[in-house]
Amino acid sequence: MPASPAAPPFLPSRRLRDVRGSAIRDLLTLTARDDVLSLAGGLPAADQLPRERIAVAAERALRAAGSVQYGETAGLAGLREVVAAHESGRLRRPVTPAEVVITSGSQQALDLLARAVLDPGDAVVVEDPAYVGALQVFQAAGAVLHPVPVDAGGMDVDALAALLAGGLRPKLVHTVSSFHNPRGVTLAQDRRRRLAALAETYGFLVVEDDPYGLLAFDGRPPLPVAAHGAQVVRLGSVSKILAPALRVGWLLGPGAVCAAVERLKQCTDLCGSTLTQTIAADLLADHDWLAGHLDRLRAANRSRAAAFTAAVDEVFGSAVTRSTPAGGMFCWLEFPDGTDTDALLPRAVAHGVAFVPGSAFAVGPPRGSALRCCFVSYPEEVLRDAVRRLAAAAS
Amino acid sequence: MPASPAAPPFLPSRRLRDVRGSAIRDLLTLTARDDVLSLAGGLPAADQLPRERIAVAAERALRAAGSVQYGETAGLAGLREVVAAHESGRLRRPVTPAEVVITSGSQQALDLLARAVLDPGDAVVVEDPAYVGALQVFQAAGAVLHPVPVDAGGMDVDALAALLAGGLRPKLVHTVSSFHNPRGVTLAQDRRRRLAALAETYGFLVVEDDPYGLLAFDGRPPLPVAAHGAQVVRLGSVSKILAPALRVGWLLGPGAVCAAVERLKQCTDLCGSTLTQTIAADLLADHDWLAGHLDRLRAANRSRAAAFTAAVDEVFGSAVTRSTPAGGMFCWLEFPDGTDTDALLPRAVAHGVAFVPGSAFAVGPPRGSALRCCFVSYPEEVLRDAVRRLAAAAS
């Protein structure tokens, strides 16, 4: 019986060596202790996922023979129709199912898009701080990353324009346009218009990564960047509004982009799950139920965000500045005194609370005194307790 | 309202341009007519998928809150345990869950493995004729393909040894070891031993792609290549034995390979579906039910294969030579008179029957007089009708 060998000497490939590990993921392992309140995760709250409604849809789906068979690579026709109708409302123009490819979460849409479009050495503009999953995808594709700062109005589009005027020619510009991960902010409408126009002037594609848009506390999702121009690929997902386990996301874009992504998906995993796509289509098409569910979800998140930010203000006062959540799941804190949040983390864990240090999201020079907190995972009183623990660790 | 633009001038990426389209896929669209009996597909028969059992498992799974949440990237712990136990039986050695990564069908395992291991320009040995999905994956990874012929005993390992002796140094050697797609044959045990030994001598990894092993008509799956050496990565799937819509496959390999694949999966789609993994684990762990289900499936396939091959022998006589199915889903036919099966296909469709021409699977010079037929999709009398239609088209 042969023993397990050492790693083959050729492992890993160059593309994998270029992918930085997710500090967040390592962190989640570290902080998965019962006595630690974790504000580090990016998961929707388990008690808010509509499990009973999913069970009804599953039972209904499994009455049809086709529900357990292979499906079309571009996605279940019925789901593409529902998503197209939904995006028509979001974009205020008719969207056809041919503009939609269903993917395994929007993460797969991002990965397929990058692989369909990018050659090694290509320039990609990313936000700084950035969604780490996007950095990993672009690194795996061999792209050269160019960071653009994010401020209270979202991506600094002036800074992007300056890079472009200076000669940078990216193929893709990635933005989490609404309720930014990790920065908690939303791209201003005038910046959205300008970004879409720059894409047409300079011939790049905007990747509008929008998993949180429907989680606007006031129930009014911001008008997408894609409503302002045609050189925009939009990514959406049910993970934050229905359930991550459905693994249903989508890409909305020009026909040639969809065709390239579909072709690559064919050799990547053949197709998504007919079963979970049927369930997602059922829930998304059930308009009255969906409206009520989203109202409940937004109300809960709004209340939790209010409790969290009030506690931060009360406990830290001027020792911390923070974003003002208007939706989504994240709040971004900064210590004006330069407190090193990498060094703070182990002390915080010792005090029974975890967060993600800003350095985890940095593309350029790390923001050593910032941190990301998820405010949706716990009820209000637990969030207040978590903030008190954080203050104790920081004092 | 902006019009949809032309394709960005940079589309598609080089890696996508290197991927040939799937002739089979185009063909399936062409032949999806109600009046055409299609032997072209590679789908399990819908009437043999255990939909009621899946519904029971779904209902049970959805009682737990965790069933709709994100899961671990490497796969649901319970499923990895069940797969490890199953593979322990297949390999006749203890397999641990740490050696298993769950993927979205075995196609994703193949894609992640290729990306984790291959740099552009690397050599990969493939069978000829080959599983087209493997060719696409290796092309997308920028590999240089080196074909080795397949005969009645599976991959011609002597031919591989000659290539290696001649200086070829592949990183991967891919084989569909049992009940080959498209060739319908099974790699002989002495060749399996030799292949595993060559991997250790020359430092490559064998990719043992084995979705059909449990579909041996006699109920005795061949001893895997991985049982003969440690430089083998095994790919498995529930798609052909339970249901494609679960999108559950797996990779079994050395720890360093699993770690690299897991890291790449993290940025590819974060994780698989907790729901469908829970369902798959339920069914795979229900040993009595599974044994009965597989017995029924194998009996049905055996009967269909017998009807199909008897009809071929009766109708074509010496005008056609064929593989002798001992499991799986496919039978390979060749016209010794050199009949051009690409040219035959439209005539066959006109006669109400479809197949996949051998050229679709060719890596080296195309096998212009061969074709692949799937024998599991129809009951016996329909298969006999399909063979008669094929003969009418060929006459």
| pLDDT at residue A393 tops 50 | yes
Q: B167 by DSSP, 3-state: which?
A: coil
CB contact under 8 A, B14 and A140: no
What value does the mean pLDDT take over residues A93-104? Answer: 97
Domain extent, residue A174, equals 69-286
Q: Kindly report the CA angle at A90 between A89 and A91, in degrees rounded to 5?
A: 95
- Chain A hits for B130, CB-CB cut-off 8 Å, are none
Count interface pairs A-B at CB distance under 8 A: 268
Where does a domain end: A267, A286, A305? A286
Closest-CA distance, A309 to chain B, in angstroms, reads: 26
Q: Beta partners for B298?
A: none
| Residue A310 domain-assigned (yes or no) | yes
B267, A137 contact by CB (below 8 A): yes
Beta carbons within 8 Å of B14's beta carbon, 6+ residues apart = A119, B142
The whole-angstrom separation of Cα B121 and Cα A14 is 12
Amino acid at A318: S
The whole-angstrom separation of Cα A256 and Cα B100 is 37
Closest alpha carbon to A116 in A15, A271, A272, A256 = A256
Interface test with A, best of B27, B192, B273, B279 (most A CBs within 10 A): B273
Closest-CA distance, A105 to chain B, in angstroms, reads: 7
Q: What is the pLDDT of residues B61-80, one digit of tens each?
A: 999 999 999 999 999 999 99
| Residue B1 domain-assigned (yes or no) | no
The whole-angstrom separation of Cα B240 and Cα A213 is 39
The two structure tokens encoding residue A169: 């020619």
Residues B301, B326 share a domain: yes
- Chain A hits for B229, CB-CB cut-off 8 Å, are 2
Closest-CA distance, A331 to chain B, in angstroms, reads: 21
Q: What is the pLDDT of residues A117-172, one digit of tens each?
A: 999 999 999 999 999 999 999 999 999 999 999 999 999 999 999 999 999 999 99
B155, B127 contact by CB (below 8 A): yes
| Residue A141 domain-assigned (yes or no) | yes
CB contact under 8 A, A137 and B51: no
* Of the partner residues B22, B73, B273, the one whose CB lies closest to the CB of residue A273: B273
pLDDT band of residue A365 (cuts 50, 70, 90) is confident
Total residue length of chain B: 395
Where does a domain end: B268, B286, B304? B286
- Residue numbers of chain B with a pLDDT score lower than 70: 1-7, 21-32
* Of the partner residues B14, B105, B203, the one whose CB lies closest to the CB of residue A269: B105
CB contact under 8 A, B4 and A118: no
CATH at A270 = 3.40.640.10
Helix, strand, coil % in chain B, rounded to nearest 5: 50, 15, 35
pLDDT score of A30: 64
A374, A42 contact by CB (below 8 A): yes
Residues B195, B232 share a domain: yes
Out of A17-26, A231-240, A336-345, B32-41, which region has the weakest mean confidence (pLDDT)? Answer: A17-26
Residues B309, B233 share a domain: no
CATH at A28 = 3.90.1150.10
Q: What is the pLDDT of residues A307-316, one digit of tens each?
A: 999 999 999 9
- Chain A hits for B245, CB-CB cut-off 8 Å, are 67-71, 273-275
Closest-CA distance, A179 to chain B, in angstroms, reads: 20
Amino acid at B21: G
- Chain B hits for A47, CB-CB cut-off 8 Å, are 65
* Of the partner residues A22, A59, A119, the one whose CB lies closest to the CB of residue B55: A59
The whole-angstrom separation of Cα B217 and Cα B214 is 9
The whole-angstrom separation of Cα A82 and Cα A120 is 36
| pLDDT at residue A276 tops 70 | yes
pLDDT score of A367: 73
Beta carbons within 8 Å of A310's beta carbon, 6+ residues apart = none
Residues A76, A198 share a domain: yes
CB contact under 8 A, B171 and A269: no
The whole-angstrom separation of Cα B292 and Cα B287 is 9
Q: What is the pLDDT of residues A6-41, one digit of tens each?
A: 567 788 898 888 887 666 666 666 666 789 999 998
Closest chain A residue to B103 measured between Cα atoms?
A: A269
The whole-angstrom separation of Cα A22 and Cα A132 is 7
Residues A369, A301 share a domain: yes
Interface test with B, best of A1, A13, A49, A60 (most B CBs within 10 A): A13
CB contact under 8 A, B51 and A70: no
pLDDT score of B2: 44
* Of the partner residues B111, B203, B263, the one whose CB lies closest to the CB of residue A267: B111
Residues B133, B180 share a domain: yes
B11, A260 contact by CB (below 8 A): yes
* Of the partner residues B65, B200, B256, the one whose CB lies closest to the CB of residue A46: B65
CB contact under 8 A, A263 and B16: yes
Q: A367 by DSSP, 3-state: which?
A: coil
A34 burial class (0-12, 13-18, 19+ CB within 10 angstroms)? Answer: exposed
A126, A171 contact by CB (below 8 A): no
- Chain A hits for B25, CB-CB cut-off 8 Å, are 73, 266
Q: What is the number of structural domains in chain A?
A: 2
Q: A112 by DSSP, 3-state: which?
A: helix
Closest-CA distance, A46 to chain B, in angstroms, reads: 7
Beta carbons within 8 Å of A343's beta carbon, 6+ residues apart = none
CB contact under 8 A, A275 and B246: yes
Q: Beta partners for B334?
A: B321, B370
Residue bearing tokens 């056809």: A96
DSSP strand pairing (A154-155 vs A172-176): unpaired
Residues B368, B247 share a domain: no
Beta carbons within 8 Å of B121's beta carbon, 6+ residues apart = B142, B143, B144
| Residue A87 domain-assigned (yes or no) | yes
| pLDDT at residue A326 tops 60 | yes
CB contact under 8 A, A65 and B55: no
Sheet holding A321-322, edge to edge: A321-322, A330-334, A370-374, A356-357
Residue A364 DSSP symbol: S
- Chain A hits for B268, CB-CB cut-off 8 Å, are 107-108, 111, 268
Where does a domain end: B286, B301, B320? B286
Q: Beta partners for A154?
A: A151
CB contact under 8 A, B276 and A275: yes
Closest-CA distance, B116 to chain A, in angstroms, reads: 5
CB contact under 8 A, A270 and B133: yes
The two structure tokens encoding residue B5: 């633009």
pLDDT score of A2: 44
| Residue A175 domain-assigned (yes or no) | yes
Average per-residue pLDDT in chain A?
Answer: 94
Pick left, alpha or beta for residue A351 (phi over 0 → left; psi -120 to 50 → alpha; otherwise beta): alpha
CB contact under 8 A, B8 and A140: no
pLDDT score of B4: 47
Residues B341, B257 share a domain: no
Residues B280, B299 share a domain: no
Residues A300, A282 share a domain: no
| Residue B366 domain-assigned (yes or no) | yes
Interface test with A, best of B16, B24, B223, B262 (most A CBs within 10 A): B16
Closest alpha carbon to B86 in B295, B238, B299, B271 = B238
B325, B375 contact by CB (below 8 A): yes
Residues A295, A282 share a domain: no
The two structure tokens encoding residue A69: 């068979």
CA distances B230 to A319, B66, B188, B236, B368, Å, are: 57, 35, 19, 17, 37
Residues A129, A267 share a domain: yes
| Residue A1 domain-assigned (yes or no) | no
| Residue B182 domain-assigned (yes or no) | yes
Closest chain A residue to B92 measured between Cα atoms?
A: A1
pLDDT score of B24: 67
